[in-house]
Amino acid sequence: MFYGIRGKIHRWIKNFLYNRTFTVRINDETSKIFYTHSGVPQGTILGPLLFTIYINDLPAKLGNQITPALYADDLKITYSYKVNNKLLQDEINLVNDWAHKWGLAIANNKSYVLYVGNKNPKTPYFIQDHKIEQVELVKDLGIYVDNKLTFKKHINIICRNAFLRVHQLLRTIHTYNPKIWGNIFKTYVLPILEYASPIWNPKQKDLVKKLEKVQKFYTRSALNKLQKFYTRSALNKCRKTKLKYKDRLILFQLEPLLFRRYYLDLVTIYKIYFNLTSLNPTELFTLNSRPSRRHDYIIQVSRKNSKTTNSFLNRTIQIWNLLPKEIFINHTINTFKIHLRLCLPHILEKLQISI
């Protein structure tokens, strides 16, 4: 009722949650009936919302020096310290007490500590008497983060998963339509290679080539399968020649992965700048009020160092500030995307960013 839910809706939700039972079924065998004392039914429409409301007060319980990040039942707390290494343990105790009070259990086998920095004393932390496991790599909402804050291992993992998917597709799909081959790659492989790419888009040449290698292999293999199908067609001339990568991209209506990642970077900046996300742009970068020959949306970030030179903002803002004025004529994201596809290749070429 604290959130304004009253009357019939409140009574319905109470009835929906109260005195629920469940059984466990394996093949044709069913366990005895168990009663639940807390939680929400999985797979329901209201379940995620009710759980979010249930744990909504947890971040407010933590201290101001702690940075919490909460997504569903996944909680991360970060703390940068030079003197007081006891504060983080106190906050862990607070979270544990809160969970115990409200009938929730912290999964010890899913709790980890990631120490960052060469001079980190690596103070051990505990959940009651259980020492939290130290790891050098942790998966955070689909992104693998290591203790050096690089994404090399993440890229290695997604490339491996993408190659596995590609081999599955090449074994099972049989079609002589290049457009279908292109659509298959966009549907089943690109999501693996581009999930949250603004976070980890690499600058190192070896990682850029490793990512592009997946699409190169796919287009080359798909072309080989096409050539086996065709005997008399417009593609017959390809039987005696090997199409270059750029030509294969045209054939399958695909784009270089490098281009797509920078495209997604800039679209994300656009959404942040024009308040199309929940992020506050003034907390991330400085809006330049001085007139510019380029456009009126020049932005700046704080000084970069060797650790942040390829961060999302530092990597993307250089290109953003080089965008032509015409791209911002109509303040709609669809118009921005159309113009961006036309001008971005020239900017990347100017900055010597290539595969």
Cβ(322)–Cβ(295) below 8 Å: no
Q: pLDDT over 70 for what percent of the chain?
A: 93
Q: Is the pLDDT of residue 211 over 90?
A: yes
The predicted-structure confidence for 327-338, as pLDDT tens digits, reads as follows 998 889 999 999
Span 57-70, mean pLDDT?
Answer: 86
Bigger pLDDT: 244 or 241? 244
Distance between alpha carbon 282 and the CA centroid of its chain, in Å?
22
Task: Grade residue 241 by pLDDT with cuts at 50, 70 and 90.
Answer: low
Q: Is the pLDDT of residue 189 over 90?
A: yes
The rounded distance, in Å, linking the Cα atoms of 233 and 177 is 12
Continuous segment of H or E residues that includes residue 146 = strand 143-146
Domain map (residue ranges) of the chain: 7-45, 55-135, 152-254, 267-350
pLDDT, position 338: 94
Span 281-306, mean pLDDT?
Answer: 79
Q: What angle do CA 347, 351, 355 make, to 5 degrees?
A: 95
pTM assigned to the model? 0.85
Q: Is the pLDDT of residue 309 over 80?
A: no
Strand 112-113, strand 133-134: pairing: parallel
CA distances from 163 to 157, 188, 224, 261, 275 (A): 10, 11, 17, 18, 37
Q: Is the pLDDT of residue 237 over 70?
A: no
pLDDT, position 233: 54
Cβ(307)–Cβ(203) below 8 Å: no
